[in-house]
Structure 1
Amino acid sequence: MSNVIRMTGVTKKYINQTALKDISLTVPIGKIIGVIGGNGSGKSTLLKLMSGLSLPTSGSVTVNGEAANRRTGKVVSYSSELGSFYPIFTVREAIRFQASQFADFNLAKADEIMKLMRLDPQMKIKALSKGNRGRLQIVLALAREVPYILMDEPLSGLDPMVRETIVKGLISYVDLNAQTLIMTSHEVAEIESLIDGFIALKDGSLLKMADVEELHETESLRIADWMKKAYI
């Protein structure tokens, strides 16, 4: 099976720390996966490795059977929590610029998601709040028609009053016949109804990878309750 993201024995070390330790897992097409864990557990590093923006110190990361590297961006849409925009652009100009960079970018879809996110297309990036920058990140990530969409803390900074609407919107704009969405989040309770499975990290190690329904059936626990036991 080549249409998967596969990590085999992956360790990622930085100068003063080991971010991930001996991670092995496989994520197929057609899933919505949550990556959970505390601060410093390795969630963001995991997504960077899957996107090819970072390379493992040891082990291998493959996407559709090919080693992950900078060219992986052709099949992976990656959005970081911090984001990176030209501040002089308007929302509309940022969307148009993204479309010019990726042939798979669907402008009509981007316009739909922009309306769902209630973004003013004429608003300058520099005038956007953190929450609205996050909404723009969601637009840019979901409008690409690629097999894998990786989103680092897409709910960060969003008003709790609109999170439910945005979470439902995430579902409607992912084609599960052809795409997989992998997202990190601290808002475990809010994404549980959205995700099919989860990857739990603790101190850079893989604690558990499981289907959400399997957890409910075998342990009669919701993810947040399982985390309270597992992260003691």
Structure 2
Amino acid sequence: MAEHIIQFSNVRKRYLRQVALDDVTLSLPQGKIIGLVGPNGSGKSTLLKLTAGLVRPSSGSVKVNGKEVNRMIASEVSYLSELDVLYPFYTVKETIDFNAGLFADFDVAKAQEMLTFMQLDPDKKVKALSKGNRGRLKIILTLARKVPLILMDEPLSGLDPLVRDSIIKSLISYLDLEQQTVVMTTHEVTEVEPILDMVVAVQNGQIRGMAEVDEIRSTHGQNLVEWMKENLA
């Protein structure tokens, strides 16, 4: 494994006339839970999509585990989209079986254990699930893969606080941080702060700050929201 699991070198990404990322150079270490924070439209989701090989940089280089990213990187990256990408006509169990067929690294036993933990009915159709339970199912599908890198785009988006709390607990319970790194975008900064090792502030397509969360508390005497206000002013 490379020391830095993600490396961006002078990466620019344009969508037509809009610049989503502007000359970003960034290295993220392995074995951490890393939060990407910043306002809507700052470039956070584009960072994740470039890392997952879903979009290509307009210029510059993106590497995962020391390898240049392309569509084949899907075998090393588990990506949770903010969009609802579940098939409504499948049951929960059929959804898990479908994903197990897609990915050789999918751990069915782990997925079933998480189903029990998250109190999801395996026989229920996806279209009959509440938004919160669909969110739980997406997280199960993402965390059940044995890959070095897990990318999560707003995993807590639109979920009520009780559900968010159980999902944050599941992130801790079902990750193997000796083998895995997690990078997530989130607006629920206060709730996620206790599990984050590092935070990266993104604004207007640029990296505005990067720090260890413990250091923010001990050296600066700030919580994450205060640090964000300072770096995203």
Q: TM-score of the superposition, structure 2-length normalised?
A: 0.96
- One-letter code aligned to 2:22: K
1:79-101 residue CA offsets vs partner (Å, 9 max, x unmatched)? 10113122110111001000001
Instruction: Give the alignment's Cα RMSD to 1 decimal.
Output: 1.2
Aligned partner of 2:145 in structure 1 is 144
* Pairing 1:155–2:167 present: no
- One-letter code aligned to 1:165: S
- Equivalent residue runs for 1:119-138 within 5 Å: 119-138=120-139
Specify the SS of the correspondent of 2:195: coil
Identity %: 55
Q: Verify the 8 A CA contact 2:208 2:232 in the aligned structure 1.
A: no
Q: Which is worse superposed, 67-76 or 116-125?
A: 116-125
- One-letter code aligned to 1:21: D
| Partner Cα separation in structure 2 for residue 174 and residue 106 of structure 1 | 12
Q: Verify the 8 A CA contact 1:78 1:150 in the aligned structure 2.
A: yes
Name the count of aligned residue pairs: 232
Aligned partner of 1:203 in structure 2 is 204
Q: Tell me the CA shift for residue 147 of structure 1.
A: 0.2
Q: Tell me the CA shift for residue 132 of structure 1.
A: 1.5
* Pairing 1:113–2:101 present: no
Q: Verify the 8 A CA contact 1:81 1:134 in the aligned structure 2.
A: no
Q: TM-score of the superposition, structure 1-length normalised?
A: 0.96
| Partner Cα separation in structure 1 for residue 115 and residue 9 of structure 2 | 37
Aligned partner of 1:58 in structure 2 is 59
Q: Tell me the CA shift for residue 224 of structure 1.
A: 0.6
| Partner Cα separation in structure 2 for residue 83 and residue 55 of structure 1 | 22
Q: Tell me the CA shift for residue 231 of structure 1.
A: 2.5
- Equivalent residue runs for 1:1-232 within 5 Å: 2-3=2-3, 4-232=5-233
- One-letter code aligned to 1:175: D
Q: Tell me the CA shift for residue 16 of structure 1.
A: 3.0
Specify the SS of the correspondent of 1:47: helix
Q: Tell me the CA shift for residue 229 of structure 1.
A: 2.7
1:82-133 residue CA offsets vs partner (Å, 9 max, x unmatched)? 1312211011100100000111000000011112222111111112222221
| 5+ residue gaps, structure 1 | none
- One-letter code aligned to 1:150: L
| Partner Cα separation in structure 2 for residue 231 and residue 199 of structure 1 | 11
Q: Tell me the CA shift for residue 28 of structure 1.
A: 2.2
1:44-85 residue CA offsets vs partner (Å, 9 max, x unmatched)? 111001111111111100111111111000100001011312
1:132-162 residue CA offsets vs partner (Å, 9 max, x unmatched)? 2111110000000000000111111211123
Q: Verify the 8 A CA contact 1:5 1:61 in the aligned structure 2.
A: yes
